[in-house]
Amino acid sequence: MIILASKSPRRKQLLKKLVPTFKIIPADVDESKVRAPVAKLAEETSKLKARAVAKLYPNDLVIGCDTVVVYNNQIFGQPVDASDAKAMLKTLSGETHYVISGYTLISNGEEISRSVTSKVTFNHLSDELITAYVASGKPLDKAGSYGIQDEEFALVKKVEGSYDNVMGLPTEDLSKYLDLLKRNL
């Protein structure tokens, strides 16, 4: 069986593009304890998540994933509240940042971990747009306080790299390695 070690509805939606059936078992881990350079933080956090679930389900294929938004070498995680979301969005307005998703696959003692980076440029966001977006509640559970799929708010001007990666799961890259490990199930 394939297990997604995440409670993210976006990752569930994206994984369905690759695998029709899987279980969702969120990892119960303290992500704040992960120490790694900015470029490797998402990958290291994905390892923590995947290993925690794989320990409980050693005969299954476990997928752990984490996504971070990076601007000026600073990590923008999920906002702590609406005020934090507004501040992040104001900072990203009109600017270019990076979205890094790390994923880890564990199956029968084999482990594959990778990171995928996409470059995202925001439109200039008015205070009214930011206020309306935050009031919608959509940015409150997302790294960087935004979802690229929230197209009605016209946040993103340009994406270089994987759109799915910016949503939270780099399906194009993941599919190459997922097929390798699925054979072992």
- Residue 130's pLDDT is 98
Q: Are 120 and 101 in contact (CB under 8 A)?
A: no
Structural domain of 52: 2-182
Cα→Cα distances 80→39, 52, 86, 143, Å: 22, 25, 11, 11
- Residue 184's pLDDT is 57
- Residue 179's pLDDT is 77
Calculate the CA 165 to chain-centre distance. 7
Catalytic residue among 66, 84, 141, 164: 66
Tell me whether residue 25 is exposed, middle or buried, using C-beta atoms within 10 angstroms of its C-beta: 0 to 12, 13 to 18, 19 or more.
middle
Pairing of strands 110-122, 96-107: antiparallel
Q: Are 67 and 100 in contact (CB under 8 A)?
A: yes
Catalytic, 66? Answer: yes
Q: Which residues pair with 103 in a beta bridge?
A: 65, 114
Torsion angle of C-alpha atoms 138, 142, 143, 148, degrees rounded to 10: -60
What's the pTM? 0.92
- Residue 168's pLDDT is 93
Each residue's pLDDT expressed in tens, for the chain with a length of 185 residues: 999 999 999 999 999 999 999 999 999 998 888 999 988 999 999 999 999 999 999 999 999 999 999 999 999 989 999 999 999 999 999 999 999 999 999 998 899 999 999 999 999 999 999 999 999 999 999 999 999 999 899 999 999 999 999 999 999 999 988 877 666 55
Structural domains in the chain (count): 1
- Looking up residue 37, the CATH number of its domain turns out to be 3.90.950.10
